[in-house]
Amino acid sequence: MRGGPRAGGVRARPWQPLLDHPAAGIRLLRDEEAEAIVRHEMGHIAAGDVTLVWLTRGVWWALLPVLLVAPFVAAVQGWRWEHTTPWRMLSHPFWAEYGVRALVLAVIAVLVAQMIMRSREHEADLTAARGQSVAPWEALLAGPRPAERTWHDTARANHPTHQRRLTVLRDPHLQLRPTVLDALVVGLLAAVLLDSVDGLATLLLTGTSWSAAPVSALTAGLLLAVGWGFAVWRDARARQAETVPPSRWLHLALGVSTAAGLLVRLQGTGITEEGTMRGWPLLIVLPLAVVGAAALSSAFAGLWSRRRGTEHTTSRERLTMLVVNTLLFTGALWLAMDFCLFLRLFDAAPVLNAALLAGPYSPSSAHKAAALAVIAVSAAWPALRGTHPRGHRGRPALTAVGVAIASAATRLAYRPTATAADWTGTWRLDVLTALCAGTVCAVTLIALRGSGGLGHALYAAPMATVLTVTVLWAARFGSWKHPFEAWGTVLVESSLAGLAVVLLALAVPAGQLPAWGSTRREVNIAVPVLAVITAVAAVLALQHSGNVLLLR
């Protein structure tokens, strides 16, 4: 081992001097095992883990003093002011609530630090074993068992257990898979960030929560896209040859942690009775929206992992994943906040009216429609280049076309006396007809494939919606003063914004279903036919609904 090869005058193995003068402990090992240890430590140095360790510990050391500043100031005030004492100041229920919230934040800091440290150990192991045999590591880690750890030692340990390190060495893809702990930490941090940025944006912008919602949603959505969306995408790429989908419990864990994050508000201490931002309904609506967005993110990642040409990750693929996941999570958070804001405005049918105002009749419908259009195009491209046979790849699109034709024909051919006669009622019914077509298409694909149909619904449902509204627009072309502007800014925009709400709501239960499929030809033919019949029935029911869905 002393005469290692050189490249350009530089020793090819920079750890060789350490092996030339080994420490006492390394002398007891075989040369292969000693080299594996040194490669591991050099991997830490090359990756900058020394700096990372100090930064991680620095965050922990800075957090405790910051959290203790407020009670310390209160104690000093109790000592200086008359008619009170430090104990009386700190015995107020305010400080009990503050302590619970501070403890939760401290636990989060510990969990994040441990996750970082343990992931770096796995990365150093994989770096040391790259291009080498894993036999030396297996000999080291499978050697004499260390003393049994208590649960306290396991929680504080920066290194994973020997068994876990061996498992990851034998199957490196395990390191890419998101865990329940990842979901809990990312969801909680995203909710805390959402709440904090929402308060700051409200003060710095117009002073209203309406203008602050997109800013806070974008900030937290970007965190979820990077912290969760990328992890799901890497996992989907690693599983592309497997049939077992990622655990659906992770989506629920992400939603639960988001709800917990809404409660961990240090700036809300003492005003708990007012509830979370935008009231208590957000504590239910926002986690459900995050669960739906996570299910759609997983479905989108599955489409991209099954397409042809996935041997190498490209910068375009990474950029697409970042943009689509940001749009999914930002849109979900924004829709949830808008929904809860509108929920307070109605006494009768508040849920239905809030959903209509957050979707097809939203003042920000243009942004939501544009986001869904980008997602639909990004989902259609890999779906059409997938590994399934060509006939299977085109079936969702054919279903969308059939549903669109049936919906538009029913709307134009049948005009009950209860149908609104004014122009506003007419175009709103056209928008809702297109929304029915997209909804029926999405439900059909989910019924046909379970959670595996969510990815195809991301492009087939918008296709059905746009086709339906385009046919209705063409039939009334001469009635529009500015027809082309009306098609884009009124009909397509409103219908896609409403479909965004529907897809997010459908993804919550559909994401918990297993993925299934049928190879029987009669089933694959019967389901689209049933979708056409359902679309006709839905449009007939819509035209008999009167003014209930027109917000008049």
Q: In the structure, what pLDDT confidence band is assigned to residue 37 with cuts at 50, 70 and 90?
A: confident
Let me know if residue 7 belongs to a domain: no
Query: Across the strands, what pairs with 386?
Result: 307
Question: In terms of domains, do 395 and 286 share one?
Answer: no
Torsion of CA 328, 333, 334, 335, to 10 degrees: 90
Structure tokens at 14: 């920079």
In three-state form (DSSP H/G/I as H, E/B as E, the rest C), the secondary structure along 428-451 is: HHHHHHHHHHHHHHHHHHHHHHEC
Q: 192 and 329: one domain?
A: yes
Can you spell out the DSSP letters for 128-169?
HHTTS-SHHHHHHHTSSPPPPPPHHHHHH-SSPPHHHHHHHH
Beta bridge partners of 450: 515
Question: 92 phi and psi, to 5 degrees?
Answer: -65, 140
pLDDT value for 476 = 86
Question: What is the helix (H) or strand (E) element at residue 74, kind and residue range?
Answer: helix 49-80
Containing domain of residue 424, as a range?
359-370+384-552
pLDDT digits (tens, 9 = 90+) for 149-179: 666 666 666 777 777 777 777 777 777 678 8
pLDDT at site 270: 60
Q: Is the pLDDT reported for residue 68 higher than 90?
A: no
Q: Same domain for 150 and 211? A: no
- Asked if residue 364 and residue 287 are part of one domain, the reply reads no
Q: Which of 29-38, 41-50, 462-471, 486-495 has the lowest mean pLDDT?
A: 29-38
Give SS3 for 386: strand
Of the residues 121, 142, 176, the one at which a domain ends = 176
Domain assignment present for residue 4? The answer is: no
The answer to whether residue 141 scores a pLDDT higher than 90 is: no
CB 277 within 8 A of CB 196: no
pLDDT at 218 over 90: yes
Tell me the pLDDT tens digit for each residue of 313-365. Answer: 678 888 999 999 999 999 999 999 999 988 888 877 889 889 999 989 998 99
User: Is the pLDDT reported for residue 232 higher than 50?
Assistant: yes
Q: Is the pTM of this model over 0.85?
A: no
Q: In this structure, are 309 and 164 located in the same domain?
A: no
Shared domain for 161 and 233, answered yes or no, is no
Q: To the nearest whole number, what is the mean pLDDT of the chain?
A: 80
Residue 8 covered by a domain: no
Go through the chain and tell me how many residues it has: 552
The answer to whether residues 53 and 105 belong to one domain is yes
Domain annotation covers residue 16: no
From 117, 142, 176, the end of a domain falls on: 176
Among 134, 158, 176, identify where a domain stops: 176
Cα(390)–Cα(373) distance, integer angstroms: 24
| 1, part of any domain | no
Least confident interval from 21-25, 191-195, 416-420, 501-505: 21-25
Cα distance between the two ends of the chain: 85
Q: Are residues 262 and 408 in the same domain?
A: no
| Mean pLDDT on 390-405 | 81
Find, among 224, 410, 408, the residue nearest to 329 by Cα: 224
Cα dist from 296 to 124, 302, 484, whole Å: 33, 10, 32
Place of tokens 């800091």: 109
Q: With pLDDT > 70 as the criterion, what percentage of the chain qualifies?
A: 78
Domain count, the chain: 3
Angle, vertex CA 498, rays to CA 495 and CA 499, nearest 5: 85
Residues 72 and 169 grouped into a single domain: yes
Verify that 169 and 77 share a domain, yes or no. yes
Q: Is residue 13 part of a domain?
A: no
Taking alpha carbons only, the member of 391, 396, 183 closest to residue 297 is 183
In a domain, 546, yes or no: yes
List 515's β-bridge partners, or say none.
Answer: 450
Q: Identify whether residues 151 and 273 lie together within a single domain.
A: no
Residues 192 and 129 grouped into a single domain: no
Q: How far is CA 387 from the centre of its chain?
A: 25
Asked whether residue 12 is assigned to any structural domain, the reply reads: no
